[in-house]
Structures are given as structure tokens and as C-alpha cells.
Structure 1
Amino acid sequence: MPIRSNAVLSGRVASRLAAGLVAAATVTVLSTALTGCNQPTAAEQRAQAAKLRSQGDFKGALIVLKNALDAEPGSAQTRYQLAQTYLDLGDSTTAEKEARQALDRGYQRGPALAALAAALVMEGQHKKALDETVHAPDEPALQAARGDALLALGRNDEARAAYEHVLAQRPEDPAALVGLGRLAIVEGHADTAHGYADRVLARDARNVDALMFKADLVRAGERPGDALALYDRVLAASPQHRTAHVEKAYLAIGLRQPQLAQAELDLAAKAAPGSLLVGYTQALLDYSTGKPDAARDVLYRVLKAVPDHMPSVLLAGTVNLRLGSYYQAEQDFRRYLERNPANPHARKLLAQSLIGSGHVAEARAVLEPMLDARQADAQVLGLAADADMQSRRFGHAADLYARASALDAASAPLRTGLGLSRLASGDTDDAVRELQAATTLDKGAADAGEALVQANLKLGRRDAALDAALALERAQADRPLPHALKGQVLAAQGKPAVARASFARALQLDPTYFRAAAGLSQLALDARDTARARQVLLDFLGRNKTSVEAMGGLAVLAERERDAAQVTHWLEEAAAVDPRAIGPGVDLCAQYLRTGRTEKALDLARRLQVSHPEDPDLLDLLGKAQLARGDVQGALESYKQLAQALPRSAPALMQVASLRLVLNNTTQAEDDLKSVLAIQPDFPSAQVELAGLYVRKGSHDLALMIAERLQRQHPQGAAGYQLQGDILMAKHQPVPALAAYDRAYTLHATNELVIKIDNALRQAGREPDAESRLGKWLAAHPDDVRALAYRAQTWIGAGDFKRAAAQLEDVLRRQPGNPIALNNLATCYQALGDARALATAEAALRGAPQRADVMDTLGWILVDKGDAGRAVTVLREAHALAPKARDIRFHLAAALAASGDKEGARKELESLLAGDMRFAQADDARKLMARLKAGG
């Protein structure tokens, strides 16, 4: 139940304002604002505002006080009255700000701190309310507010002392009496609580706080009609009382009267625009009426304004759980439990979010303290069973479901879980019996009935599945699900005509029930009538203009027909239904990326990010779009955000590490890779990349240890042995590397391993064996473009440029525009003196504008053609991209020499000759240096 400001702070409402008086007050305010003469003083305006406030016209009071502030900007008194009025309107955030302004301007500390404490209590910041008023004056209103904070924190004895201290000074103080009433409720004394409320109302039948408390009491006694009547009494006394409208909305939500709830919230929002409590309750209504996306949007705005409003944090977690955003839900629940560690409901929800994200071991750890035999309830046991189901401990799950069912024998969901666990462990007969028992417990239990139907279908027991569907149909004849299930079973029985009738009946009962339309569409697809399948969905969409599901189904049909334009069209239509909705937006963004529309994908992702800044799917797509655009740094920032949103996701952090490697930030990449392995020790690609970093640092033994660990973790996987081979090749040990590659090839034959084996054989001096192995692979895989291109490279290495050129021309016929094949073909043409060399190299560079080796080929051809000036430009860029590539540096020196820059050429050669001279054209580099020294 929300904590409200006490009666002293919120003011006593004398009577409802007559319509004529309202009009007169409004005219007074307007005339004051519009005429320059006879302006009332700030003090007169404050007095007028106090009168309006006492009459319940809080908005009118607010207007007058703002005018008073214009007249006297530094007034502490005006700030204090503004704080009180904002408290009346339920705007705790602004009330807090105004109370602080009053304090800063020297207003009396007691009343100002009382207003501040009330605002903080209203926001749920109970500890902060106490901390900021610990040395405050002995003001009754302040002590009552501190009592409210102490009570909320469970410090009951201190709360009682605070309230009794107030009553010692003011024996009938309404706020203290209501506080003692709330304390009595906490201690289980409902009659005493009623007595305190009645004591206040006996003296002042229109006391708003006492009426609100009395309404809460009768609600707790399950008397919603009496509670509504009391809230109406509050509104009669104070027509702009936002909280009364909110509480009526709460009641309506519980009574499943969403229209009444929305009407009350609209009135509350009108009374207090931007109110925290109104926003929270709107989110609760949206969630309870099946609109979790809308609820999440509202909660985002609430928590942006008040990040520590714990009820909103808990509701945000629940909403994210419903939406399948398990990592975000987990963060919300952990944050809530930091403040409320003993809350069992939040702990159960945290476990549920961990189960949803696949972290079942952590879910079990969260539940373990509650699994003690003396205190474990059925819900805890059921959640632990769910975790065991996901970790495939089906027998253990069945035991837990059985224990839970013993505690709650009437629970159909628990019997359903027990049945599914039996089914998963292969005990099909018991499984079906448990599912049948679940449907017996609750003949209208849709989950159990559907599970029984699906279980029988999985077992091939189609007649039993039909019996289960018919039983559910008898219990829920007026609902669409049983008819849709019956249609599914009849379709499986090969009876499309009667299946069609069942789906049609489901749609007749609920024209918005997409599952039935999907069933009819699938029947048409089964009959290979794609046009009919599409028409079914179009007809459904005609009746349900904003059905995102139907638009998604039409996109799937277009995908089947490989009609990318129609896929895009329907996904755009779905996204247009609600431009802020994350699901359709993410689907459309992915389609834009698939079809090469990178800029549109980026634009959409950025627009969606405004409303969903931490959505993992969106951050992933944003990163992919940035990569497609060549913005590696931007992609890194997006994936860093993704890793923050998914703090225990090894794949998300792996993306960060991979991008750091691309940017050559090896130190941070190494830290990231180690963090990935701390989360998931058997993550193969992280181990491979970390080993690669160790090889680059010369730490071959550490790299080999990783390879051996990978082999132990995945003994039937090729990755560990392939990694071992790569490390041994880096150590120039081709013979043992070959053995490792052969072992990997035996486990999983790929063209990558064929190429690595060929290279190892050649390094070991076994060229004939290499030719033979590669030839056998290509005989079995004649269209393997990668292997064909590699064979051309081996011929280039052997100086057989004519044969290599023919091979590469064949590759390009199969894969036009391949920049690597074009680059190598340009090299062949240059060696053969073929005039096509330059044009081919230019084409290669257009396909791979940032590859240093492609630039090098073009630059070297330009040197050969006598265009030394352009060659220098191209080769400088190549050298900047690959500063350690010694052949590129030699080509740059040669281009400089050819352009007449002898000194520049000499400097490049001196640097080159001072280092490792193991590269193909080392002798040519020495000869060029000799010529330059000789003055040639």
C-alpha cells in the first residue's frame, strides 16, 4: 500500500467549493495576471492560496503561488507553501525540490523538514527521510513523518515512540493516530486500527487521511464496495485528491474492471500531471490488461524521474519477465532485493528470471535458503523443479513437483509440471496420468489441457490427444483455445476439413484469436496452396487492422517465397502499428540489415533506442548495423552497452573482445577474453582468441595449455586439436602440427582444415602429398570456391602463374567480384605481362577498400606501369594499415625511388634492412639499397 503524507502536511479540507466561488476565484487569478494595476502583494497571494488549498482547490492554489513567486522570487514562505500544495497533488518529486528550496532560503527548519520528509516517504525513500531529519527540531508534523518512515522500514517500536511523542504534545493529532492505526495493522490488531481511524473521524468526519486509512482497512477486510464509498467521501471532501482516484483504480484493477480503473487514473493524472504514483498505477493497469510493452514505457519514465522508487523497480522486473527480457528483469529484482533482502516474493521472481535466461545453477542458489523442509512452500519447490527441468535433471524435478503437489494438492499447474517432468524422463504413462489429474483438478485449466494434448501428440497418441481436446472443449466451450487445439489434432490425424471447421469455430468465438487463423493458414500450406494461406492471413488482417501477428505471418510467407520486398513491406507495416514497440522494430531492423539497407537499419535502431536504451536485441542489431557501415568504434560502444545490459552473457562480452581485437586493442581484449572464460570456462572461440593473443606475445606454452584444456572440455570437437596445430605452426613445427590437424580432420572435416593440412605438408617438405590431399578434397567437393582459390595461391607460390590465373578465372565465374580472387588474379596477370592486371587490381580495391594486401598489389602494378606518383600514395596508405608488412614497405621504397625521392626510399630501406629480412623480396631490397648508395 502506498505511504501517504500525514494529515498535518496535506491540510484539512473544510468543505466542497461551490461552483460560483470557483468561478470567482478563477476570475480573480486571471485578472491579477492580466492587469498591471492593483497587483496583490506576495503575502496577499499566499493568503489567497492558503484559502484555496483549504477548500480543496489545489490547482488554483498552485497558480496563485506561482504568481506570488514571480512577484517575490526569493520567498522561502512561498516555496514552503508550494511544497505543501505539491504534496496535496501527490507530486512528491516537485514537493521535495520546493521543500529544499524553502530550507535553502531560511524557512523554519521544523515545518520545512516535515514537508521534505513527507515527500521522501511518498517516494519510498524511507531511509533517506530519516537520515536527512536526524537532528531536526521537535516538530510534531516532522515526528509523525519520521514515524511513517520508521514503520515502513519495519522499525515498529521506534515508530510507536515517534507517534506517542507527537500525541504527548497534541493528544488528538490525526497523523499520529493514523500512524498508530497502521502500526496496529502490522502487528495484527485490525480492531485497534479501526478504533484509531474512528477516533479521528469522530472529531473530523472529513479528515482525508483518516478516510483513506479507513478505506484501506475495509479493503483489507475484502469489502471493496465499502472501500469505494469511503474513497468517494474523500473525493467529496477534496475533489482533486489524486490518491483517492489512484486507490479506486487499484480496486478496479483487482476487481478486473479495467475501464473504471482507467477512468480513475485519467482523473488522477488530470489532478496531478506527472505524478509518480499515477504513473506506477498506470503501468500496473497496463500490465494487468496484457499490455506489458506499454507498462514498460511508463515505468521507464517513472524510474528516470525517481530511480529509487522500489515498487516501480519491482514492477519493472515483473514486466520484463513477462516480455522475456530475463537479464533486465534479473537486474531489477537484484536491485529491489538490495533494499528489501527479506522479500520472498522478489526472491522467487529473481529465480524465475534466472531460469528464463538459462542460469539454472544461480536460480537454484537463490532458492536454496527457502528450500529448507520446514519452510519451503509449494511455489518455491515448483520453481526449483523448473530449474531442474531446464538442467535436464528430470528425476529430481519430478520429486520436487511431487513434494509441491503434496503441499498444494489442488494446484493444476504443479500437477502439470509433474506430468511434463515424467514425460521428459521417459515415464510416458505416469506423465499422461499426471496431466489427466491436472485437468481433473481444474477442468478449465488451459495449460494442463494443452500440455496433455501436446504430450499425446508427441507420443503419437492422436486419439487420446483428441479426447483431451474435447474434454477441454466441454469445460470451455465458449473459449477459442479448445477449438484451436482440436483443429491441431484433427490436422495431425489427416482430417483437414473438420480441422478447418474447428479453427473457424475458434475464430467465430473470438475474431481476434490469431492462433486459429494461423492454423487455417497452415492447413493451406499443407495442401501446397500458398495463395490460400496468404489470403487467410489477409482476411484476418482485414478484420484486425493492427494485428502485428498477422503481418508477421505474411512476412514469413513472403520469406518462404524469397520475396524480400514483401518481407520488408509487412515488417514495416507491423512496426508502424506502434513505432515504439520493440519486437516489430527489431524484426524490421534485422530485415534492413539482411537486405543491405544499412542506413535505414541504423536510423531505426537509434529511434528505438530512445524508448528502449537497454534492450539486448536492439543493441545487438545496432552493433551489427554499425559494423556493416564500417563503424567499428561505434559497434564496440554498442556491444559494451550490450555487455552491461547482459552482465553474465559470455557471447555479449565475446563481441566486445572481438571488436577490440579488430581495433588492435590487445590488452583490453585479453582482459575481456579472460572475463568471458570466467563466465563460461568452456567457451571455445574465447579460448581460441586468447591462445592467439598468447602466440602473438610469444607465450606458446600458455597457448598450448589452452588448446589442451579445450580438448579435455570437448573431446569430440575439432577446435582444440585445430588450435593445437595452429600454435605448433606458429612455432615452426609442421610435423607435430600435421598430427594435430589430422586428428581435428578426423573429428570434423572442413575446407579450412584441408587448407591448413596442405600448408603444414608443404612446410614439412611434402609437396606431392599436399597436392594429393588437396586434389582428393576437390574431387569430392568440386564447387568449393575457397579450396579452389587456395590451390591457385599454391600455384602462385610455385611460380605457375598461368595455371593459377586459369583457376582464379574459374573462381570468379562462380563468385563474381570476390576481392581476394581478383587481387590474386591481378598478381598473376602482372607476372604474365597481361594488360588486364591494372583493371583487375582496381576492381579488387573497389571490393575491399581497406585491405592493405589489395592496395599493395595495385601499388606494385602502378610502379610496374610507370605511375610512381600514384603508386606512392596507394602504398603509403597500405603501409599505414599494415606497418609490420615488410614486402609492402619494400614496394613503397621502390615506388619512392621510381618517383625520384631517393632520400625517402633510402630511409624506408634502412628501416627495413635493420629488421627481420625473412620476406620474399629481401634480395631485391638489398640490391635497391646498393644502387641508391652507388647513386643509381
Structure 2
Amino acid sequence: MRISKLPRRITLGTWLMVAGLAPEHSAFADDVLAGQYYERALQAYREQNNDEAIIELKNALQQNERYVAAHVLLGDIYLQKKSLSEAEVQLNLAKQMGVDPSLIVENQAKLYTYEIRYNDLLKEIDPVRFSNELRPSLHVYRGNAYLQLNQISEALNEFDSAAQIDPSHVAAVVGRANALLKRGDLKGAELAADRAMQIQPDDHGAWFAKGSIKHASMELEEALKFYDKAIGLNPDHVDTRLARAGLLMDLKQDDKAKQDLEYVRKAYPFEPKAAYLHSVLLERNGEKEAAAKELVIAADTISSIKPEYLSAHSSTLMLSGLVNFSLQRYDLAAEYLRLYTKQFPEQSGPYKLLATILLKKNEPEQAIDLLRPIQMRNPQDQRLAYLLGNAFMQAGKHDMANIMFGKAAALSGGDDTIQTEIGLNRLAMGQEQAATQDLETAYKKNPDSLQAGIPLVALKMSQGDSESALQIAQALHKKASKNLTLLNLLGAAQVSNGQYKQARQSFEKAIESDPNFLAAQINLSKLDVGERKFDQARQRLQALHQKEPANLDILVELAKVEQSAGRLDAANDLLERAKKLDSKSLLVLLASVDLNLQMGRTTEASAAAQAAEAVDKNNLQVVDALARSYLANNNREKALGVFVRMADLARFNVKQLYKAARYQIDAGDYYEAIKTLKKAVLVDEGHIPSQIALVEMELNHGKPVFAASRAESLLKRYPKRAFPHQLLGDIALHDQNFSLANSHYQAAFELEPDTTSLMQLFDSLHKTNQSDKAFALLEQWVKKHPKDYAPMAAFANELLQIGNFKEAEKYYDLLLKQFPNEPQFLNNLAYVYLNLGNNKALSLAEQAHKLAPDQAATNDTLGWILVNSGQIEQGLHYLRNAHSLQSQDPEIRYHIAVALTKLQRNDEARQELEQALKTNRAFNGMEQAKALLEKLR
């Protein structure tokens, strides 16, 4: 459950003039110089001298490589120059340093558009997260991306969303015209294009839309006139250039077409259409070799998203499907296979492979639509029946799944073990509930079946039904009392029931019958470790090791004992010995990953994980270890790929799917996380963590309407739990329905009063103007729970806000005793000290900034103190960074304006004040800002 975060800064009110508090040495020398270079770069940029601006910005970054504002401006300039790789580097660096996303989101969208990364754009650009000022443009970028992917309805939704916010947003109207044109609605498209021209007669997009409409109507000469006008207004518009090139080719004006194509190739090297059209142009002019090279360039770029370009070469389609399937390039393989099945519908093999891909991609409905007619034509094909059963099961249509599985069982020759096989198959896919039912059915039919009984015991234990597990284990052991495997299983079931004495007896009895029975020995050592009898576990395993010095299971288990006892070096020595025996043992490598991570040796952990991957890249434990090692090494890009692979390999294992989704969320790959969570709840509706995470992700990064529907369903299913109310409160808050949010948070707090529900209720009370009630709620909780530090921090913040600095100082002192290096508390205490006249304010602000140099709070606080103490250039540098990190904060702009005024840069100061006051958001110093603006005017 999401916990509302406390503010990371206390915006500063009337600061005392602090004299004589400058550092004894020139601690800010580099930052001052960096700030000076940046200010010169900004001036050059405003004068459209980008080359000079780049030089100054690079100088600034040499002085301070973490100067966020410099990275933002440099990225913007590179993007203008079409230096896409350089722009991407700067934007990524700014993001890593915590830049305010609203400062770079349009450039990010523009970059993805230039690079034809439409899916990345749709995954990462979420207009809901931004202000109404930015949202229309972002909706338009998304709409254009959907258009490129031929998803017309989604594109129209985006353009309409933009127009709802700003009806005069011409790009939204133009986008609607283009979408309607692509749908074939020429009349609607022309009406939209005409409206765009009324809004803005010189908009190149409107002229391009009109040209496209005429082109579609085969009024070629008229279309050319509109295209010419559009390019005259914007020579750099790639779509118009390509459209005009195609039109000129139709008009047999190849030389002119070639000029447009060469322009696009130079300006947009990532655009595959130009290479393709150029190849067509060369081909019809007899330049076959050159045409072939251009086609290869085009194919390399578009093959992953446009397999239809190769549809004429049917002989290669099936092979391409098989190869790409083997490479786990499922989307591309599916496209090739679809093309193949259209040409050869009588063959069932490609349909089976395509259905397998669809199931891997969690698209069961499409698999059902694909397989149903094929299975009807081939009713004796067991594999088709089995695949269709899996598709129905994955879609939640269990009745139909049972029918198809029944047919598969009948076609298998009437084998009465089919129920067990299906159960084991579901267990392998992670469908524990369904597997349990199947195995229970099989076990009831044949209580002597170890194939059904043994995994059923394990399932019951993992599900917490230890009593049933013990009953089945006892029954199995009774029928085969000399079977040591069953005796060991009985001991495990007894441990699950808390019958440790009986379990020890079972393990010891198994060992008495066979002293070399390793499974029982290891289970007994685990029982020792659980009871913290480390010496006893160590002695037991060492005795085994002396008998079998090359046994890896014993060595690894002995290492785990040492690890549990805190003897990490000893554990490491044991694993190194194990590696010498078998450097490719997954057991050893995975244990090494865990140990190295615990020891903080992230490089060694990564090496061990990569070695394990080389052994078995499709093993979920290996993929999980690899993901953890990449995260520990802060290698996000590699981790993202691993997470997708983990989700794919997890298939129907809800626990593994949820784990993969959590990794994806932590890494910020929200689009993939939603896909993974949808798969998880499809597998198991009762998995509450997945349900909660999916609601939160849909609300914040997907489709809020889906979040609301799912949360309402959860409330009906769990009326006595707090989490559905908390989710509905979050949704109401997202919709700015603060009163409804407050009601849900109140209900959650009454059902389950804990820190999470308390803080949510506290926040909602504030938002409904019940500050007194919020204050009393916190005060009462803190008195009853003096060691619950999150509410204490919020209470200290409340005291600070109302000006009770003495009380606030008391609580911040308590908090800093527990968290001496927490920059928020240091920052806020600096504010308290200033108001109490304590001259430690500056040193605390410096300490906070040193601990958190990438937070807007610490930059703003330190910068403002320096400005007010006469160190203006030093202060301005930190204030610029604060703005880059939190650009929507009007108070930071006010502070910048004051600094600029002191530097006699009054025009720039006036602009900053106008932007600060334009937001109509109250902030400390607002009245002073108004007075200063009047003075400057």
C-alpha cells in the first residue's frame, strides 16, 4: 500500500539576514564558476547562439558534473541540432539526477518521436502526471505515436483529451484530422483540418493535413500545392517531406522526390520509410544493387514492427517465425506466422506455434479465436485440444478448459493419470490452486499415487494448510513405511505443523535406516539452524563432508549454516571450494550470489549471476539472481530486460509474477509492470498484493477507470479490510474528490488503525481544510506511539508550519538522534534555528546539502541562505539547481528573482516573478514577490 510521503522541504518564509556566516575557505569556488558559465550559456541560448551555449555549458559541467540545469539546457540544444544520441545522454543524466520531469518531458517525447520509438513514448510519457499547461502537447505526442502504430481509436482519444483541456490547441485538431483520414473518413478529416486553419492559418500541420486529404482523394496537383505550402512553413517536417516524395514519385518527378528523401535521410537517419522509398525509386530506375542496399537498411530498421514488408517472400516466413520464436522475439515471430497462416491456412503446425506465442504473451482470447476453428477442422489433434484448454484456462474460462482437457485426455488413449499430469503441468506454470484441485482429484481416485500425493503435500504446506499436508503425508507413509522419501516428507509436514520434536524423530529415523540419506540430514541441519543450534548443524554437516568431500549439496548447506551464524568469510571459503569442484553448478553459483550480496560485494555477485545465466538462462532462480545483482550494481538498463524475461518465464506462477512486477515498478518500467500484474491477477484473483499493486499502477501509470472498477470489486470481496478503502481513497484523491477520499481513509483507519492509514487520513484531512483535526489526530497518535517516527516527523512539520518553533525543535532533536543523517530533518531544523536566532542554521543547511545534493529542498535552502548573506552568485547556482529539480515551485522562482535583482538583472527577475505569481499558488514570500514585481515594473 502506498504511504503518502512527507514533504522533503519546508519552504522558507522571511529569512533573517545572516552576516559573517561564510565558510572559512572557498568551498563554493567550483559551483560559483559553474554558475557563471551557465548564466553565460543561458544568455547565448536566448540569443540563438547554440554553439557558444554548448561551449559554456560544457565548461559549467567541467566545474560541476551534477549541475542539473546545465544538463537540461544542453539536452534541449542537442535536440534542436538533431544530435539525438547526445541529447539522449543529457536527458538521461538529468533524469538520474532527479530533474523535475516537467522540464524535460516534451523533449523526451520529441526524442522518442525522432527515433521512431513509439512504444517507448507510450510507455513512459503519461500526461496525467503533469499540469494542464503541459498535458495537451503530451496527449498530441501520444496521439501521433498511436497513429504511427495504426491504433486509430487510441489516437483519437488522445487528441480529444488534448482538445478538452485546450480547445484552441491546433496540433490536437490537426491530429484529429490525420486520424480521421487514416480511418477513411475524408469528410470528417477535412472539417477538422479547416477548423485547424481557422485557429491558426499559418500552421504547417493543418496544411499538411489538407494535402493528405487531397492526396487520398487523388487530387494530386492540389495535394502538391498544400504540401509545398506546409514545407515552406516548416522545411523540417518529416511526414510532409515523405508524403511529398511519394506524391512526386506518383507524378514521375523522381529527381524532386529524391531531394526530399535525401533531406529526410540526412535530418532523420532513424526514419526507415525514406530508405524504403529510396529503394523503390532506385529499383524502378534500374539501380538494382543500390536499391538492394537501401532495402536492407530499411529492413534492419522496420523488420521488428513491419514484417509485412517481407510478405511477398512466403518461403521465408515460416523459417523467420521459427527462428524468432527460438530467440524469444515473440512479437516479430507472431507477425511472420500470421502472414504465413494467411497464405497456407490448411497447415495446423504454424497455428500451434502461433498459439503458444500468444499464450506466452498472455493473450489467451486471441489464442482461442485462432485455435477454435483449427481444432474443429482437426478434432483428433491432441496438441490442439491441449493448447486450446490452456488458452481457456488462462482466460479464466475454466469450464471450457475442462472440456478441452477432457478431449486431450481422451485422445491420449484414456490414460487415467491425465488428471495428475494436468495438475503437475499447472503446478509447473505456477497455478497452485488449480493444480491443488487436480491433484486432490487424482489422489482421491488413487490414494496410492505418489505422483499425485507427494506434490500435493508440498502444495498444502506452501499454502499454509499444514494440517491437510500432515494427514496426506501420514497416509502415504503408513502405506509405505519403509519408503525413506515418504518418511522425510512426513518430517517436513511435521515441521510445517510446528511439531518439531516429532519431525526430528522422523528425520533421525530416516537417517538411522540410511546414514547416507542426505535429504534427511540436510532437513535435520535446517531444523538445528531454525532452533539456532549452529554448532550442532555444523558438526552434522562436517561429518557428512568428511565422508563425501566432493558433494556440493553438503558444501553449500554448510556454507548456508555459516552464513546464518554470521560467519560470512567462512561461508565464502566453503563456496569457493565448491566452485573448484564444479564452477558451473547452479546450486553453488546461486548461493554465491546471495552471499556476495549480503557481504556488499556487488561486482562478485553480478559475476556469479552471469555465470549462472550462461549455464541456464531460462531458470527462474537464475533470472531472479541476475536481476538482484543488476539492481545492486545500479545497472537499470540491463535489469529492465531481465525483468521482462522474468515475467515471461514466470508464466502462471503468481508469486514469481508479482516479484517480477515489483522489480519492474522499482525500476520505473510501469508499462511492463502493468502487463505483468494483469497476468498475475488473471492467474489468481485472490492474490491481494498483486490486486493492490495493479490498482495503484493503473491509477498512476495506466487507465484510472480500470483502477476504480477493480477497487470497487475488491471492496465487495473484502468489506472488512482496510486496503480496498485505501485504494478507493487514492482514486478519489487522484480525481481531486477530497471529501470522498477522506471518507474512505477514515473508514480504513477505523478498520485497521496503523501508520499507513493514519498518514493517509492525516493528508486527506488537510486537503479537506480540516487542519485542526489533522493536527489533533497526529498529536494523539504521537503521544501514544512515541517510537513511530513517520507520524512524529509529520507532527514536527505541523509545529514548524504553525510557527511553534520551540516544540518543533524538540521533535527534530528526537528524530535526529534516531536518524542523524536524514537531510529532511537537518534542513527543517536549519529553518527552525533561523527563526530562533541560532547561528547553526548555515552549517546545518550545508550538511543537509552534502547528504542530499540532488534534492530541491537542500539546494533551495542553501541557496537562499547564501543570497541573504550576500553571497549572491554562490546562492544563485544552488537556486538554479533547485528549480531544475522542482520547477513547479513558485517560491524557488521568487528566490531566483531576488538573487537576479541583487545582480541588477531586473528583466530576468521580472520574468521569474511573473512565472511564480502566474501559478496562483500560495507560497512563503508571496506578498514580498508581488511588491518586488510592482517595483520592477
Scaled by the length of structure 1, the TM-score of the pair is 0.50
Checking the alignment, whether the CA contact within 8 Å between 1:555 and 1:567 is kept in structure 2 is yes
Residue in structure 2 matching 1:379, options 417, 424, 436? 417
- CA 745–429 in structure 1, closer or farther in 2 if over 3 Å, else same: closer
Matched, 1:848 2:852: yes
- CA 894–538 in structure 1, closer or farther in 2 if over 3 Å, else same: farther
Post-superposition CA distance 1:577-609 (Å, at most 9, x none): 433333432333234334443343334434443
- Shift in Å at residue 797 of structure 1? 1.6
Partner of 2:696: 688
Range 770-779 or range 660-669, more displaced: 660-669
Matched, 1:751 2:793: no
Matched, 1:711 2:752: no
Residue 861 of structure 1 aligns to a residue in which SS? helix
Checking the alignment, whether the CA contact within 8 Å between 1:592 and 1:601 is kept in structure 2 is yes
- CA 524–651 in structure 1, closer or farther in 2 if over 3 Å, else same: closer
Q: Which amino acid aligns with 1:383?
A: E
Task: Give the 5 Å matches for 1:521-670.
Answer: 521=525, 529-571=533-575, 573-574=577-578, 577-646=581-650
CA distance in 2, matches of 1:830, 1:451: 68
Residue 756 of structure 1 aligns to a residue in which SS? helix
Post-superposition CA distance 1:57-85 (Å, at most 9, x none): xxxxxxxxxxxxxxxxxxxxxxxxxxxxx
Checking the alignment, whether the CA contact within 8 Å between 2:745 and 2:757 is kept in structure 1 is yes
Residue 773 of structure 2 aligns to a residue in which SS? helix
- Shift in Å at residue 723 of structure 1? 2.4
CA distance in 1, matches of 2:382, 2:614: 34
CA distance in 1, matches of 2:466, 2:508: 35
State the Cα RMSD in Å.
5.7
CA distance in 1, matches of 2:586, 2:797: 47
Structure with higher RCO (Cα < 8 A, 6+ apart): 2
- Shift in Å at residue 889 of structure 1? 3.1
Partner of 1:9: none
Partner of 2:408: 370
Q: Which amino acid aligns with 1:785?
A: Y
Q: Which amino acid aligns with 1:491?
A: R
- Shift in Å at residue 691 of structure 1? 1.6
- Shift in Å at residue 617 of structure 1? 3.5
Residue in structure 2 matching 1:857, options 858, 861, 876? 861
- Shift in Å at residue 725 of structure 1? 2.2
CA distance in 2, matches of 1:346, 1:648: 20
CA distance in 1, matches of 2:624, 2:495: 37
- Shift in Å at residue 531 of structure 1? 2.5
- CA 639–804 in structure 1, closer or farther in 2 if over 3 Å, else same: same
Post-superposition CA distance 1:775-818 (Å, at most 9, x none): 33223322112121111111122122332222112112122322
Residue in structure 1 matching 2:433, options 391, 399, 412? 391
- CA 354–727 in structure 1, closer or farther in 2 if over 3 Å, else same: closer
Task: Give the 5 Å matches for 1:125-524.
Answer: 367-372=405-410, 375-384=413-422, 390-391=432-433, 397-403=439-445, 413=451, 435=476, 438-439=479-480, 447=485, 491-492=504-505, 503=511, 506-507=514-515, 510=516, 513-518=517-522, 521=525
Residue in structure 1 matching 2:813, options 787, 809, 812? 809
Q: Which amino acid aligns with 1:369?
A: K
Checking the alignment, whether the CA contact within 8 Å between 1:351 and 1:363 is kept in structure 2 is yes
- CA 394–852 in structure 1, closer or farther in 2 if over 3 Å, else same: same
Partner of 2:198: none
Checking the alignment, whether the CA contact within 8 Å between 1:381 and 1:403 is kept in structure 2 is no
Post-superposition CA distance 1:86-108 (Å, at most 9, x none): xxxxxxxxxxxxxxxxxxxxxxx
Residue 773 of structure 1 aligns to a residue in which SS? helix
CA distance in 2, matches of 1:516, 1:432: 15
Q: Which amino acid aligns with 1:535?
A: Q
CA distance in 1, matches of 2:611, 2:924: 52
Q: Percent identity?
A: 23
Partner of 2:831: 827
CA distance in 1, matches of 2:801, 2:791: 15
CA distance in 1, matches of 2:645, 2:432: 28
Scaled by the length of structure 2, the TM-score of the pair is 0.50
- CA 560–393 in structure 1, closer or farther in 2 if over 3 Å, else same: closer
Range 520-529 or range 771-780, more displaced: 520-529
CA distance in 1, matches of 2:550, 2:790: 47
CA distance in 2, matches of 1:896, 1:541: 74
- CA 568–702 in structure 1, closer or farther in 2 if over 3 Å, else same: same
Partner of 1:876: 880
Residue in structure 1 matching 2:745, options 741, 745, 752? 741
CA distance in 2, matches of 1:457, 1:657: 31
Partner of 1:59: none
Post-superposition CA distance 1:696-734 (Å, at most 9, x none): x9x7x7754443233234434322211222343455554
- Shift in Å at residue 685 of structure 1? 1.0
CA distance in 2, matches of 1:453, 1:585: 28
- Shift in Å at residue 377 of structure 1? 0.7
Q: Which amino acid aligns with 1:689?
A: M
CA distance in 2, matches of 1:876, 1:417: 62
Number of residues of Structure 1 aligned to a counterpart in Structure 2: 571
In structure 1, stretches of 5+ residues that fail to align are 1-130, 134-325, 463-487, 494-498
Q: Which amino acid aligns with 2:514?
A: A
Checking the alignment, whether the CA contact within 8 Å between 2:657 and 2:676 is kept in structure 1 is yes
Matched, 1:912 2:916: yes
Checking the alignment, whether the CA contact within 8 Å between 1:632 and 1:659 is kept in structure 2 is no
- CA 822–489 in structure 1, closer or farther in 2 if over 3 Å, else same: same
Larger-Rg structure: 1
CA distance in 2, matches of 1:344, 1:626: 42
- CA 868–677 in structure 1, closer or farther in 2 if over 3 Å, else same: farther
Range 559-568 or range 388-397, more displaced: 388-397
- CA 886–532 in structure 1, closer or farther in 2 if over 3 Å, else same: same
CA distance in 1, matches of 2:896, 2:662: 31
Q: Which amino acid aligns with 1:909?
A: L
